[in-house]
Amino acid sequence: MTATFTPRGSWATLKVNNGLHPFLSASADALSSYDPATGELVANVATSTLGQVDEAVDSAERAFRKSTWRNDGALRARVLFRWAERMRQQTEELAELLTREQGKTIGQARGEVLSSISMIEYNAGQARAIYGRSAALKEGVHGVVLREPVGIVAAITPWNYPLNLTIRAVAPALAAGNAVIVKPASLTPAIVIKALALLAQDNDLPDGIVRAIVGSGGTVGDRLVTHEGINMIAFTGDSVTGINVMKRAADSLKNVSLELGGKSPNIVFADANLEKALVGAENAIFSSAGQICTAGSRLLLEESIHDEFVERLAQRARDMNVGDGLDPATQMGPLVSAGHKQTVWDYVEIANAEGTVVAGGRSLDDSPYDKGNFVAPTIVTDLPADSRLVREEVFGPVLVVQKFSTEEEAVNIANSTDFGLACGLWTSDLDRAWRVGRNVEAGTIWINTYHHFYGEMEVGGFKKSGIGRQQGVEGLLEFTETKHLNFDSNPTFW
Ligand code: NAD
């Protein structure tokens, strides 16, 4: 493991304030974000008061009711396509800020920016294609089913893919004709505010249709969740927080979409292309330092390939270049914060106490890691099935390996947690892929691949991984209400 990259001298502090970005409902108090690789200050972002949340809801409400936005799909498409184009022109700046604020490697940050642009473009196209249905019901009677925007949507988003997960909610919400108030995670506000500023500068976007609120989840986040003027919460984050959000939103009976945590199985059968499966397994857990909701954090190996596969994967983990994400040679960056490093470290201690650690198991604290939040890529075998490390989401670079001998056992192990977000499946047997894919309870099943997302394709969770779907047509329709208009030329009554 090496870290030879020398970071640039000082990172210019990005000042994001009310004057610069009028869509940000915020006062002068600032929230600071820090580079998780170096501890350097990255940005000061103005925070919002509870009163400013109320004001943002009022202006979103006015914009939604009084502008043509909700009835003009072509306008929405134009605004969204132009946003995508402005983001494309700033791909490198956005990627660099994302790495600085979140810690992921610059290649992964670039990928996140590009997939966010692709997501905007997909939804821009959909803005003109939100169709309902119609039916001739009986002589002189017609029914028309319309899809109308929900109204005012609050998008509350996490820090791990801050740009992508914000845009994954904002783009379809806008495409469907809603007004949106965004609350980014407090660890990564600057990247979200910077990207939204590129949208807000569009002269055709009615003032108030997009607003941003910055601050803690427990204060301004809770105000959004409980506010009577908000019609829908699109929440992405931890399962415990999501359940709480749903309870808090219940009093005002809001629509709620929840994209929550996972403990996803990645199943490798002996008949798979093992070279591809090896690279896939490494990517599934160590990409973005394991801070991905869909991380393949449980590797299920068929008995006959277990020992050799584990040893080869462990060697790859030991050889990984861990360091500052801005160094192009870095394969795995830091964890997002010192607090999150401690959470992950608590799980590594369980690995050391209850299992056999075959790679990592160490906190990286000496130079060049001493100013950041680094944990070595860790692989653990031989854990008891009821270990917390087997059942709970770690959200870090800690892989649990489990062994199976039959297909049925693989499926049972795969389904043995409270989560159901994603699953990887490596086999050359098409019938098996079909069977296992149908029997595993998860919103996404990757067959002979892992971690590939498409704006066109739905994502979401079974069980405690969520409610509803994002992306794709279903993701767009989540942001709509269904209305039946009934036309009767000669009504009869009884
Ligand atoms: P988190 O739940 O702590 O926070 C998510 C967002 O909710 C933040 O903006 C936070 O400020 C806000 N929030 C917190 N408490 C709130 C409250 N009481 N009311 C309203 N808002 C509140 O999650 P995190 O630590 O930022 O993100 C990591 C988690 O997100 C992991 O569990 C991960 O699996 C999950 N996640 C899920 C998906 C998915 O698509 N299913 C994607 C990414 C991350």
Alpha carbon of 157 to ligand 1 centroid (Å): 6
In a domain, 492, yes or no: no
Q: Is 395 in the pocket of ligand 1 (CB under 6 A)?
A: yes
- Segment 277-287 mean pLDDT: 98
> Do 326 and 354 belong to one domain?
yes
Is the pTM higher than 0.85? The answer reads yes
Domain that holds residue 275: 265-454
Same domain, 254 and 402: no
Per-residue pLDDT tens over the stretch 94-122: 999 999 999 999 999 999 999 999 999 99
Residue 111: inside a domain: yes
Residue 316 and residue 226 share a domain: no
Q: Annotated catalytic, 423?
A: no
- Ligand 1 mutation target, pool 48, 238, 239, 453, most atoms within 8 A of CB: 238
Residue 22 is predicted with a pLDDT of 63
CATH classification of the domain holding 348: 3.40.309.10
Q: Is 126 in the pocket of ligand 1 (CB under 6 A)?
A: no
256 alpha carbon – ligand 1 mean position (Å): 14
153 and 252 share one domain: yes
CA–CA dist 383, 190 (Å, integer): 40
pLDDT (0 to 100) of residue 10: 33
Q: What percent of the chain clears pLDDT 70, i.e. is strictly above it? A: 95
Q: Which of 96, 293, 302, 478 is the catalytic position?
A: 293
User: Are both 96 and 109 inside the same structural domain?
Assistant: yes
Q: Is the CB of 466 under 6 A from ligand 1?
A: yes
Q: Is 259 a catalytic residue?
A: yes
Statement to judge: residues 277 and 254 lie in one domain: no
- Which residue puts its alpha carbon closest to atom 11 of ligand 1? 217
Residue 6 lies in a domain: no
Residue nearest to atom 18 of ligand 1 (CA): 218
CATH of the domain at 70: 3.40.605.10
For residue range 348-371, what is the model confidence (pLDDT) as tens digits? Answer: 999 999 999 999 999 999 999 999
First to last CA, the chain: 81
DSSP string for 16-36: E-TTT-TTB---S-EEEEE-T
Residue 462 within a domain: no
Out of 259, 282, 393, 478, the active site residue is 259
Query: Across residues 384-407, what is the average pLDDT?
Result: 98
* Residue 7 forms part of a structural domain: no
Residue 2 lies in a domain: no
Q: Are both 222 and 304 inside the same structural domain?
A: no
The finding on whether 218 has its CB within 6 A of some atom of ligand 1 is: yes
Checking if the pLDDT of 12 tops 50, the result is: no
444-447 and 210-212 strand pairing: unpaired
> Is residue 447 in a domain?
yes
Q: Give 180-219 pLDDT, tens digit per residue.
A: 999 999 999 999 999 999 999 999 999 999 999 999 999 9
Rounded distance between C-alpha atoms, residue 68 and residue 155, angstroms: 22
Number of domains forming the structure of the chain: 2
Say if residue 218 is in the same domain as residue 278. Answer: no
Pair (182, 232) in one structural domain: yes
Residues 256 and 269 in one domain: no
Same domain for 271 and 253, yes or no, is no
Is residue 358 one of the residues assigned to a domain? yes
Structure-derived torsion over alpha carbons of residues 177, 188, 116, 333, reported in degrees to the nearest 10:
-160
The finding on whether 284 has its CB within 6 A of some atom of ligand 1 is no
The answer to whether residues 73 and 177 belong to one domain is yes
Taking the CA of residue 340 as reference, the ligand 1 atom at the shortest distance is 25
**pLDDT score of 25:** 77
Q: Is any ligand 1 atom within 6 A of the Cβ of residue 291? A: no
